[in-house]
Structure 1
Amino acid sequence: MAAIRYARLVAAGLLLFAVPAAAQSNREAWIDAYQSSPADYDFVIPKEMKLPPETRERLRDRPPVTGTLRMRIAVAAGGREVRIRLTNEDGTAPLTIAAASVGLAATGFDARPGTLHKLSFGGADRVTIAPGAPVLSDPVELSVQVLGDLVVSVHIPQGLKLKGFGNAAMAMGEGDQTLSPALSGADTIIGRPPVSGVMVRGANPPRVIVALGDSITDGNRPALGQLHGWPERLQQRIAASPKRPALAVINAGIGGNRVLSTSWGKAALARFDRDVARIRGVSHVILFEGINDIGNGGSSTMFGTNPPLDVNDLIAGYRQIIARAHAANIKAVMGTLTPFQGATSYSEAREVQRQAVNRWIRTSGEPDAVIDFDKAVRDPAVPLKLRPDYDSGDHIHPSEAGYRAMGDSIDLALFR
């Protein structure tokens, strides 16, 4: 009898330990499921720069916008609650949001009827965001799926300066239409969205991969329905994988961004903590950046006259990002720089620098893993160029087929 009582006590003790373990496996947690890194663009298009008229018109400087601004956003993780992150981090004056909402997306910028929820901030419908600061909304009960689309609307009564180089398509309507499923009299405009992030809360949250890069990474596109770069293609592959690895990919790309210098958005070295290390659930960063450091060293149409780039300085910048990632318990994966022969920023001397950087990425052993994007998109017949069907036409940015090839080239085993 004593042995039986002892066995029962042992079983009960094991049960006490087993219940928390089971509960932990189904735990709920907040993670970041979308990002658009804040960026300012202090830049005027030079008259001598060759751009199609429609592109020049899209990128021209515009007066501040007022009314309801609506963004369509794809999230990389699912959950039952969401929180929206708004930004004034690159602003120089307070930004007032008089009302805001979130809902499930229908067609275009329309919200699915019955899904719109008013957002609050510390219980208030209205919030003023200080210059240099973000603001996080209160949680909203809204069930979202992996790769599901949300529409987020903000009513801006006093005007917001949007830079065309932000490259995201948004809808703009007059007055407060934040709770209207369809915006009345809306125009499509291009700019950097004031929504900088979405957090979701759900059971068994995935690990997060952050893609840190420039325009070849940036997920903002000037038209709905376009592939949001290679990070979105990577997320599609993860979602479609038979093994369904618990991974979510968010995009921290900024068009024109550089590793060492601030101009189009803060330098990668300056924004690493904000755009990578602070992310909830991050386990890996994919660093794919440096072609703008190379292409704009010395004289440049886009950036004027700059000091010539020393490749050793760029490699030192990479080493610093790797070190800071490791200090935050984040694995650092690096992508080789893709070809750009034929682009306005190309020169033979700059090609020598790209080759030196890629040689270091491939052979140094300092990144935790390497993705050979160069090999994935280069022309086998002319390796210094993008493959013709992977070239968007400017000889530096990939076409949608090129972005797809980049996303398809990534071994998912790197993130196990």
Structure 2
Amino acid sequence: MLSRARTRTSLVAAAAALALTAGLAVTGAHASGSGAGSRPSGPAWTAAWAASPQRASTGFKANWSEDGFSGQTLRQVVRVTEGGDRARIRLSNAYGTSPLHIAGATIARTKKGAAVEEGSVRRLTFEGRRSVEIPAHGQLSSDEAGLELKPFESVTVTLHLARTTGPATFHAQSFATSYRADGEHVGDTGAGAFDESTESWYFLSGVDVAGGGVAAGKKARRGGGVVLFGDSTTDGFASSTDLNRRWSDALAERLAKAGAPRPVLNAGIGGNLVLNDSAWYGERGTARFGRDALDLPGVGTVVVLEGLNDIGFSESDTPTYKPAPKVSAEELIAGHRKLIRAAKAKGVRVVGATLLPLGGSDHYGERAAEVSDAFNSWVRNSGEYDAYVDFDRALADPADGERLAPRFDSGDHLHPNDAGYRAMAEAVDLEAL
């Protein structure tokens, strides 16, 4: 159950933490988000879907990031958790080493697989132009497109990548199918040309909506969007592909069912750490927090669940993060305090979460167990977060509190299954959000 914690009386400036995402150069398009780069006379945007960018790398499943794209069309399907009558996309070349040329782009309502609904295809423009170049390390948002979307509707974003992109900024583990075709097919409604697939998202970092829901004036009453920030558990590892069974999906559905709908955005990266960067698992949480969570349009609350990899990689035999530092509870807590300060400096409510049980997993060991227990005690008792959710107790095996309950275990004793992700959403006190 999510417990209310006492609020702190002083706010600490976090300009340094947030500066990492400030000042990105954009050529031929306006910056995404609700800050200085947005058009002052434009609509009030709210993020309806998001994915955290990563540098090109290998992964647990084959992906196209290291090779990139050349003379191809990329089609990606995502599900929004907020509706509206206008939409735009956000694109990221955050880890590109050369400009990224987008020759054309469309957005449409999804039909099935790579097929889209006839009559719903909208050509996207960037400052009025159909093509755009995103500089290395840049990001941008498209112009608005008139497309009516309902909450929990799937949308398809199609990009024509006519030139060689080089390694692609991407999100490694999507648990959703993306498609690729040779040549130019942005306007296709059928799926015939898209004969290759992968389970990653490329260049696409967000879909925003306006003209409905939060963007229509309910934001103040409902508290804005909710961002879930964390590692593979937040990302949805081991959830069912193409079925939207992450805990972010379950929480958005629960809020809607309770009559308090709010967009829920997923800012998880599999393997991510609070304190250290990784070639596979993204920039450390304290470095990406502003870009991936606080700066999303319309955000009011962030839920932070992260730290198991910081303490567990040193116990694991996996070769993907070696040598792994041995992180103390004090060091992990110090990292979380940076996140808390950054959120409060932005006026965003910040909710902490206890780490899930890890007994029997490759992250488990005597030292990891001790650090996890100490960290969880701090989350519950310090009052430094505005509130907290106790996933440790909600998903623990009644017969052995060190382990996930068998009915919630995906099989690796570390990640929940679909039922476990639903249980995480049920553990949240919606009023405290």
State the TM-score bracket (shorter-chain normalisation): 0.7 to 0.9
**Secondary structure of residue in 2 paired with 1:104:** strand
Counting only pairs closer than 5 Å after superposition, residues 9-408 of structure 1 correspond to structure 2 as 29-40=44-55, 42=57, 58=62, 63-66=67-70, 67-160=72-165, 161=167, 166-168=172-174, 169-186=177-194, 187-202=196-211, 203-206=216-219, 207-219=224-236, 224-241=241-258, 244-263=259-278, 264-297=281-314, 301=318, 302-408=320-426
- Give the 4+ runs in structure 1 shifted more than 4 A: 59-62, 162-165, 219-224
**Secondary structure of residue in 1 paired with 2:378:** helix
Q: Contact 2:101–2:161 (CA<8 Å) still a contact in 1?
A: yes
Distance 1:338 1:219, change over 3 A: closer
Q: Contact 2:314–2:325 (CA<8 Å) still a contact in 1?
A: yes
Q: What is the identity, as a one-letter code, of the residue corresponding to 2:199?
A: I
- Normalized against structure 1, the TM-score is what? 0.85
What is the rounded CA distance, in whole Å, between the counterparts of 1:219 and 1:396 in structure 2?
12
Q: Contact 1:100–1:155 (CA<8 Å) still a contact in 2?
A: yes
* 1:61 CA drift (Å): 7.9
Distance 1:374 1:59, change over 3 A: farther
**Secondary structure of residue in 2 paired with 1:305:** coil
Deviates more, 1:62-71 or 1:150-159: 62-71
Cross-structure match for 2:10: none
* 1:300 CA drift (Å): 5.1
Question: Deviations for 1:329-349, whole angstroms, at most 9, x for unmatched residues?
Answer: 111101110011222222111
Q: Contact 1:205–1:246 (CA<8 Å) still a contact in 2?
A: no
Aligned residues: 376
What is the rounded CA distance, in whole Å, between the counterparts of 2:316 and 2:397 in structure 1?
28
**Secondary structure of residue in 2 paired with 1:93:** coil
What is the rounded CA distance, in whole Å, between the counterparts of 1:358 and 1:192 in structure 2?
33
* 1:117 CA drift (Å): 0.6
Q: What is the identity, as a one-letter code, of the residue corresponding to 1:272?
A: F
* 1:78 CA drift (Å): 0.9
What is the rounded CA distance, in whole Å, between the counterparts of 1:108 and 1:193 in structure 2?
17
* 1:299 CA drift (Å): 7.0
What is the rounded CA distance, in whole Å, between the counterparts of 2:368 and 2:236 in structure 1?
26
Distance 1:220 1:299, change over 3 A: closer
Q: What is the identity, as a one-letter code, of the residue corresponding to 1:229?
A: R
* 1:162 CA drift (Å): 5.3
**Secondary structure of residue in 2 paired with 1:216:** helix
**Secondary structure of residue in 2 paired with 1:384:** strand
Q: Contact 1:298–1:309 (CA<8 Å) still a contact in 2?
A: no
What is the rounded CA distance, in whole Å, between the counterparts of 1:82 and 1:255 in structure 2?
28
What is the rounded CA distance, in whole Å, between the counterparts of 1:90 and 1:401 in structure 2?
35
Q: What is the identity, as a one-letter code, of the residue corresponding to 2:67?
A: P
Q: Contact 1:164–1:190 (CA<8 Å) still a contact in 2?
A: no
What is the rounded CA distance, in whole Å, between the counterparts of 2:64 and 2:91 in structure 1?
24
What is the rounded CA distance, in whole Å, between the counterparts of 2:173 and 2:309 in structure 1?
17
Q: Contact 1:59–1:163 (CA<8 Å) still a contact in 2?
A: no
Question: Deviations for 1:267-293, whole angstroms, at most 9, x for unmatched residues?
Answer: 111011111221222111100001111
Q: Structure 2 regions of 5+ residues with no counterpart?
A: 1-41
What is the rounded CA distance, in whole Å, between the counterparts of 2:327 and 2:172 in structure 1?
26
Question: Deviations for 1:85-122, whole angstroms, at most 9, x for unmatched residues?
Answer: 01111222221111110011111221111000111111
Deviates more, 1:385-394 or 1:282-291: 385-394
Q: Percent identity?
A: 35
Q: What is the identity, as a one-letter code, of the residue corresponding to 1:304?
A: K
What is the rounded CA distance, in whole Å, between the counterparts of 1:314 and 1:41 in structure 2?
27
Q: Contact 2:75–2:157 (CA<8 Å) still a contact in 1?
A: yes
What is the rounded CA distance, in whole Å, between the counterparts of 2:334 and 2:145 in structure 1?
43
**Secondary structure of residue in 2 paired with 1:315:** helix
What is the rounded CA distance, in whole Å, between the counterparts of 1:163 and 1:321 in structure 2?
24
- Normalized against structure 2, the TM-score is what? 0.82
* 1:266 CA drift (Å): 1.2
* 1:183 CA drift (Å): 2.9
Q: Contact 1:62–1:163 (CA<8 Å) still a contact in 2?
A: no
Distance 1:259 1:132, change over 3 A: same
Q: Contact 1:300–1:306 (CA<8 Å) still a contact in 2?
A: no
What is the rounded CA distance, in whole Å, between the counterparts of 1:204 and 1:122 in structure 2?
26
Q: Contact 1:97–1:154 (CA<8 Å) still a contact in 2?
A: yes
Deviates more, 1:310-319 or 1:223-232: 223-232
Q: What is the identity, as a one-letter code, of the residue corresponding to 2:227?
A: V
Q: Which has the higher helix share?
A: 1
**Secondary structure of residue in 1 paired with 2:399:** coil
